[in-house]
Structure 1
Amino acid sequence: MRDQQRRFDRREYLTLAGGAGVATTIGLAGCLEDAETGDDDEGNGDDADDGVDDADDTDDGELETIVAGTNPGFEPFQMNVDGELVGFDVDLLEAVVAETDGYELADDWEELEFDSLIPALENENIDVIAAAMTITEEREESISFTESYYSADQSVLVQSGGDVDPDELEDLEGLEVGAQSGTTGEGIVEDELGDDVDYTSYDNYVLAVEELERGTLDAIVIDEPVAESFADDRDVEVAFTFETGEEYGFGVRQDDDDLQEALSEGIAAVEESSEYDEITQEWFGE
């Protein structure tokens, strides 16, 4: 998929995505389906049907197909552009799975609201979460994570040229503050500010940014790289960034140790090659 991806206008994407929100596709695909394999040309002489499709055969044997789930609208990690799912997480997971011996990605990803991803994983509607999800102790009570593949902090977005110009979290007290449901940003607002702000939860950050541009919202708490991406394309700016030391990981079920290990090894392999730098340059320009 990555070789077929094209450059796009981020402003056009954010403008089109906001009004209708990000559509969710909840076609609950079967997970961990064994790919069909054909007989080895140098078989043992059994009278097997030579017509069996062997397109998914590898030298290492049979592959398991895993279904990925994500939450579009979190540029540049994952987003829909002209009906195509693209982004850093999409490219990276494809590269990581390609480094594994026993797995392949299903062609279609499941696109869900962020706070629906863990339940979908637990219910086996998806097999891996690739959604810039921060590794936290609370989440690890429900799911397991691979090794970290990205580090980030939190930023506060405000309207460009507006009257709100905070320098620290305490400056948000008494203001209208937004974040995306289920994210670290929401946790920061709830834990650090609580009832001192008028908090609004959004299904995705595109909607929150539109409210910020209209002046009906004073500030947004959001992951730093995503904040910078919005600031590049919309009439918003980063007021300040504060260190949280977050680490993103791919999420898997707690009993899926083989997949967890395979993906962690795949992450290491991609990072050791030039591919990780190429993907980072593609989406972050760094």
Structure 2
Amino acid sequence: MCDQQRRVDRREYLTLAGGAGVATTIGLAGCLEDAENGDDEGGNGDGGQTIVPGTAPGFEPFEMNVDGELVGFDIDLLEAVVAETDYELGDWQELEFDGLMPALENENIDVIAAAMTINEERQETIAFSEPYYSADQSVLVQSGGDVEAGELEDLEGLEVGAQSGTTGEGIIEDELGDDVSYTSYDNYVLAVQELERGTLDAIVIDEPVAESFADDREVEIAFTFETGEEYGFGVRQDDGDLQEALSEGIAAVEESSQYDEITREWFGE
């Protein structure tokens, strides 16, 4: 199993991320390889299969790349979950969010850990573990700016952004459509930077991520609306054994003190 990632607080992440954006790993490793030579280190010690995890940094505090090091809630949680199974965790692969499902289908990665919402459209292509986190959607605006919004209709006629492939993008397309000028971003760090500069009027983003940005950047939450979405770890539809193992691992971590500890570390809850 890979070494435990170094934990970095939110402010350090945002300072280091700056205008550089998020590095993307191009080379992808092979997946679901049997542990060589019966190595019993990591996992539960029975030399289980190695699974390659994929994520999309830039979604603080769930997954972030800080000075070349991957950290965040999803990173710590998946490592804790896999430690409860017979699997071993391989090297993390970093991609853009909308590249995760294709990478999973192509067997370049074996599990998605990227605050991915479980929905019917995605379930037509991939399978999910049991949920591990619930969230709603928020609208971010520039602190002290001119935009005053209390509901989605108030965004009509404005420049609105979201991360490509996310629930926020889907809401903009489905609920607002041509009533707004929409810009898609590879990650939310870039979108928030544009919001701070005033070249973007609003962002639709998951509530816990919005709260993190509002704590550390010159942006604020205009309003939050209920979506009832839940995050799950994504796996291939034919990988029922891994799906079941991850779900059982989530249950084990939640029943122990580990889930609360990881939550406090990244959300202060």
Q: TM-score, normalised by structure 2?
A: 0.96
Q: 1:162 aligns with which of 145, 151, 165?
A: 145
Name the counterpart of 1:17. Answer: 17
Q: Does 1:274 align with 2:260?
A: no
Shift of 1:3: 5.4
Name the counterpart of 1:98. Answer: 83
Compared CA separation, residues 158 and 58, structure 1 to 2 (3 A): closer
Q: Does 1:248 align with 2:249?
A: no
> What SS does structure 2 have at the residue aligned with 1:37?
helix
Compared CA separation, residues 18 and 189, structure 1 to 2 (3 A): farther
Shift of 1:55: 4.7
Q: Does 1:205 align with 2:188?
A: yes
Alignment of 1:62-211 (within 5 A): 62-100=47-85, 102-106=86-90, 108-211=91-194
CA contact (8 A) 2:100 2:112 kept: yes
Q: CA deviation digits over 1:4-38, x for unaligned, max 9?
A: 62443x33422432422211002110100111234
Letter in 2 for 1:238: I
> What SS does structure 1 have at the residue aligned with 2:125?
coil
Compared CA separation, residues 237 and 58, structure 1 to 2 (3 A): closer
CA contact (8 A) 1:56 1:63 kept: no
> What SS does structure 2 have at the residue aligned with 1:161?
coil
Compared CA separation, residues 265 and 55, structure 1 to 2 (3 A): closer
Q: CA deviation digits over 1:51-103, x for unaligned, max 9?
A: xxx45387763310000000000000000112110000000000000001x20
Compared CA separation, residues 20 and 82, structure 1 to 2 (3 A): closer
CA contact (8 A) 2:44 2:83 kept: no
Compared CA separation, residues 273 and 163, structure 1 to 2 (3 A): same
Number of equivalenced pairs: 268
Compared CA separation, residues 56 and 20, structure 1 to 2 (3 A): same
Identity %: 84
Alignment of 1:227-242 (within 5 A): 227-242=210-225
Letter in 1 for 2:109: I
Compared CA separation, residues 173 and 26, structure 1 to 2 (3 A): same
CA contact (8 A) 1:156 1:222 kept: yes
Name the counterpart of 1:262. Answer: 245
Q: Provide structure 1 residue ranges, at least 5 long, that are not aligned to the other structure.
A: 39-53
Letter in 1 for 2:6: Q
Compared CA separation, residues 114 and 253, structure 1 to 2 (3 A): same
CA contact (8 A) 2:64 2:72 kept: yes
Matches of 1:3 and 1:31, distance apart in 2: 20
Matches of 1:165 and 1:191, distance apart in 2: 22
> What SS does structure 2 have at the residue aligned with 1:80?
strand
Matches of 1:17 and 1:190, distance apart in 2: 28
Q: TM-score, normalised by structure 1?
A: 0.90
Compared CA separation, residues 3 and 257, structure 1 to 2 (3 A): closer
Matches of 1:13 and 1:130, distance apart in 2: 19
Compared CA separation, residues 143 and 6, structure 1 to 2 (3 A): closer
CA contact (8 A) 2:16 2:67 kept: no
CA contact (8 A) 1:73 1:80 kept: yes
> What SS does structure 1 have at the residue aligned with 2:244?
helix
Compared CA separation, residues 155 and 284, structure 1 to 2 (3 A): same
